[in-house]
Amino acid sequence: MTSPMQWTPIHGEPYRPVPYRPERMPVAESLVRAAELRERMDRRRTVRRFSADPVPEQAVRDAIACAATAPSGAHQQPWTFVLVKDPAVRRRIRAAAEEEERISYEGRLGEEWLAALRPLGTDEVKPHLTDAPALIVVFQQRYWLGPDGERRKHYYVDESVGIAVGMLLSALHLSGLAALVHTPSPMRFLSEVLGRPVNEKAFAVIPVGYPAADCEVPDLVRKNLDQVLVEV
């Protein structure tokens, strides 16, 4: 068995195309798979009440590996996923996040934003950060930082990391796990708690686990396809 190739920066290298000949899926099978995927993804919900039951760590790692296949600007893959399992570290993250959220809910967000959040039942208390058995903290790399301190700008960082997070949520859901995208603002404390380098900026905190036995979610309705799709 050959070991996988090790990624190295490709900045400035010439274009080297390789053949790509995936097997074409029969139309009937494609339609069945698409319909099944649509139905399964429609059952995905954001969860804020987690069970403390452990999750299969390899399933989480595989979901992160799926997220890391996302397209990115100039194939620079400007992301880092920090898997936080240590309860003490999760408690530190929760304490810092709740302090920032308290300031936000007491006025920093503004009434318009608070009014938009009110139907979702959120507040400054964030038990999901310690109840869930794992957190995935996603960082975006604003630039590449070499071992000798050399820097190279990354492009389309927000777009690239956003796509990767979407793929991560899908992979977790399809693996039978629940998740939440939590974005405390500001998030500088995450770099400090997790000791991340200067080229990384926190993008999101994603608790991962199973819904609690008494889990409840907002009674929401998604837009219909004809409300989000325009065909020309």
pLDDT at position 2: 63
Give the residue extent of every domain in the chain.
45-212
Alpha-carbon Rg for the chain, nearest whole angstrom, is: 20
Question: Tokens 């920093």 identify what position?
Answer: 108
pTM of the entire structure? Answer: 0.93
Contact between residue 191 and residue 200 where contact means Cβ atoms under 8 Å apart? yes
Closest among 71, 90, 74, 91 to 82, alpha carbons compared: 90
Q: 3-state class of 36 per DSSP?
A: helix
List all residues 6 or more positions away from 151 whose beta carbon is below 8 Å from its beta carbon: 143, 144, 145, 199
Phi, then psi, of 113 in degrees rounded to 5: -70, -45
pLDDT at position 194: 98
Spatial distance between the Cα atoms of 79 and 76, rounded to a whole number of angstroms: 9
The tens digit of pLDDT for each residue in 204-214 reads: 999 999 999 99
Type of residue numbered 75? H
- Mean per-residue pLDDT, 82-105: 94
Q: Which tokens in the block code for residue 60?
A: 């989480």
> Which fold, 45-212?
NADH Oxidase (3.40.109)
On average, the pLDDT of the chain sits at 94
Give the model's confidence band at 1: pLDDT under 50 very low, under 70 low, under 90 confident, else very high.
low
